Amino acid sequence: MKSIYITRLALLVILLVVAQPDLFAQLSLTGQIRTRTELRDGLGNLAPKNSPAALFTSQRTRLTFGYKWDRVMFHTAVQDVRVWGQDAATINNADGYRLMVHEAWAEITLANRADTTIQFKPIQNLSLKIGRQELVYDDVRLLGNLDWLQQGRRFDAALLKAQHQGWALDLGAGFNQNTDAFGQVGDNYTPGNVPASALSSKNVTLAIPAGFIPTAGKGGAPVLATPLSTNGRNQHFKSFQMIYLTHKFNQTKFSALFFKDDFQKYRADSLGSTATGYVYGRRYDVLGTHSRQTYGAMLTGQLGNASSRIGTVQWQAFAYAQRGRDRDGLSIKKAYHYGGNVMFQKGPLSVGPGYEVLSGNDATTLQAGETNRFDPLYGTPHRHWGYMDYFYVGTGSPAGGLKDAFLKFRYATSRLTTTFDLHYFALAAPTYNRMADAPAGARLDPKLGMEYDFVTTYALNKFTTLELGYSIMNGTNSLEYAKQGTMNAKDKVGQWAYLMINIRPDFFYTKPLAIRQ
């Protein structure tokens, strides 16, 4: 019965397009098949010594539909994400489904001075965008769609967007809850992606009840056995409020961001018994939230042009700070993130250096109940701190923060783009060496390692690109200890290679007719 309704709806859309040619220009329908075959031998964390490499292919299948009218835009994207072979050739109902709605939003025009039928005209443009949507700002450093991951990232939110005389202002908010069931009291929020069961201290599998999340250590240690969401190791927020302001002055763009996210409070708890063993974790039944504020600004600009003698010089500088309390209730004292970079381009070749710092905990001065770690919110770490994803993703990041000095090369033609990046990673703050054989007060060498990233992309046709990548992490004992708590137990050289095929057809695209001479 459901398939009949879907078929009828598809036929109705086709009839409308045929009967009303003007409607065709207002509709968009695109698809995506993106497969990525990866060879992993130390991606995200250094691999155990003499361990075999992992090989697999993952796939994203996405269908995006859009409709645009003078006063309304409608957009929805449905996707399926899976690993080849993850399901048997024939599955049963118990296997569940991975089909999900990635985006589903509508944007309503509230003011538009160019539209004579709208009487409200205090500003040039004002609109309300509401629903499940991607938040993509600046260079996706703090807010991004995390498109590198096959599942991506989206937010359930409302966004009020204003534009006036070259200025743009976005006001956003979101409020998360687990259920709308009858009998539900209060609004305590348990982070999503909770495992259905966990192994106890006696290796017995115990069911996980609602409102409880297991952790790796006794008493609700902050290191989670399973990441709570796609936001790396950050607990998904209960609510957020944001202000984003931007303006372009000639060839320089200014942007400022204020982002406040609130996290549900929790208490340490355990499940089980003397006979079955215990599962330690967090119980999300405490009233109230911990609130964190992130704020700062970014400047990006360009000097020269492609025809000038020196070519084009693109530059960027930014600085952000965090205050309040983190998801665990720790008081954030001096958390900051700053950096800058420049890129010199002449013809198809570009080259440029950069430097960034994300603050961490200074082990020599840190007080109980405090933290100085800067958390880069909900951005795309893969784009900034090495393609091997050692920092600020689901694999965790050193408590001592991060310094990243890098040099990037890029060669681009109409179809072929090749990049080569070098990163020097180091701890941003002193970190003690707590290994049993280390002398009292010994500190880690701040050097974490060198990473080399090579990527080449070729446009096969209008809708298809091929991407090949190879990366090497030449790590140190400091990297192994800061990320995994061991020394001399992992291979210090990590490697990763991938081949990605990205096919994105536009189903309403019509090839231009050749002009006869």
Q: What are the DSSP calls for 122-138, one per residue?
A: SSSEEEEEEEEE----T
What sign does the dihedral 92-98-99-105 (CA atoms) show? positive
Kindly tell me if the per-residue pLDDT of 255 is higher than 70. Answer: yes
Q: How confident is the model at residue 220 (pLDDT cuts 50, 70, 90)?
A: very low
DSSP helix/strand/coil, 425: strand
pLDDT for position 181: 84
What sign does the dihedral 15-16-22-28 (CA atoms) show? negative
Mean pLDDT of 185-206: 87
Alpha-carbon span 243 to 171, nearest angstrom = 5
User: How far apart are the two ends of the chain, measured CA to CA in Å?
Assistant: 54
Mean pLDDT of 260-273: 94
Kindly tell me if the per-residue pLDDT of 1 is higher than 60. Answer: no
Q: Yes or no: say if 150 and 161 are a contact pair by the CB < 8 Å rule.
A: no
Mean pLDDT of 193-210: 88
Domain 2-48+58-71+99-302+311-503: CATH superfamily is Porin (2.40.160.10)
Nearest to 451 by CA among 420, 493, 422, 428: 422
Q: How confident is the model at residue 338 (pLDDT cuts 50, 70, 90)?
A: very high
pLDDT tens sequence across 346-376: 999 999 999 999 999 999 999 999 999 999 9
Q: Yes or no: say if 381 and 410 are a contact pair by the CB < 8 Å rule.
A: no
Kindly tell me if the per-residue pLDDT of 321 is higher than 90. Answer: yes
Name the amino acid, one letter, at 65: F
Mean pLDDT of 120-139: 93
Alpha-carbon span 359 to 158, nearest angstrom = 31
Alpha-carbon span 392 to 385, nearest angstrom = 8
pLDDT for position 17: 57
What sign does the dihedral 411-381-149-6 (CA atoms) show? negative
Residue 440 to residues 74, 360, 434, 435: CA-CA distances in angstroms?
62, 21, 8, 10
Alpha-carbon span 449 to 29, nearest angstrom = 45
Alpha-carbon span 328 to 373, nearest angstrom = 12
Kindly tell me if the per-residue pLDDT of 24 is higher than 70. Answer: no
Q: How confident is the model at residue 228 (pLDDT cuts 50, 70, 90)?
A: very low
Mean pLDDT of 475-493: 94
Mean pLDDT, rounded, of the chain: 88
Mean pLDDT of 188-207: 87
Q: Yes or no: say if 321 and 285 are a contact pair by the CB < 8 Å rule.
A: no
The DSSP call for residue 381 is: H
pLDDT for position 217: 59
Nearest to 481 by CA among 363, 326, 328, 332: 363
Alpha-carbon span 109 to 304, nearest angstrom = 37
Alpha-carbon span 358 to 389, nearest angstrom = 15
pLDDT for position 117: 79
Of 80-89, 290-299, 332-341, where does mean pLDDT reach its minimum?
80-89
The pTM of the full predicted model, rounded to 2 decimals, is 0.89
The residue length of the chain stands at 517
β-strand pairing of 370-371 with 402-412: unpaired
157/97: higher pLDDT: 157
β-strand pairing of 370-371 with 331-346: parallel
Q: How confident is the model at residue 291 (pLDDT cuts 50, 70, 90)?
A: very high
Residues of the chain with pLDDT > 70: what percent? 88
Q: Yes or no: say if 59 and 85 are a contact pair by the CB < 8 Å rule.
A: no
Kindly tell me if the per-residue pLDDT of 331 is higher than 70. Answer: yes
Alpha-carbon span 37 to 57, nearest angstrom = 4
pLDDT for position 14: 58
Residues of the chain with pLDDT > 90: what percent? 71
Alpha-carbon span 409 to 454, nearest angstrom = 10
pLDDT tens sequence across 416-448: 999 999 999 999 999 999 888 888 889 999 999
pLDDT tens sequence across 374-423: 999 999 999 999 999 999 988 888 999 999 999 999 999 999 999 999 99
pLDDT for position 171: 98
Alpha-carbon span 93 to 83, nearest angstrom = 18
Q: How confident is the model at residue 466 (pLDDT cuts 50, 70, 90)?
A: very high
Of 203-212, 222-231, 351-360, where does mean pLDDT reach its minimum?
222-231
Domain ranges of the chain: 2-48+58-71+99-302+311-503
Alpha-carbon span 354 to 343, nearest angstrom = 9
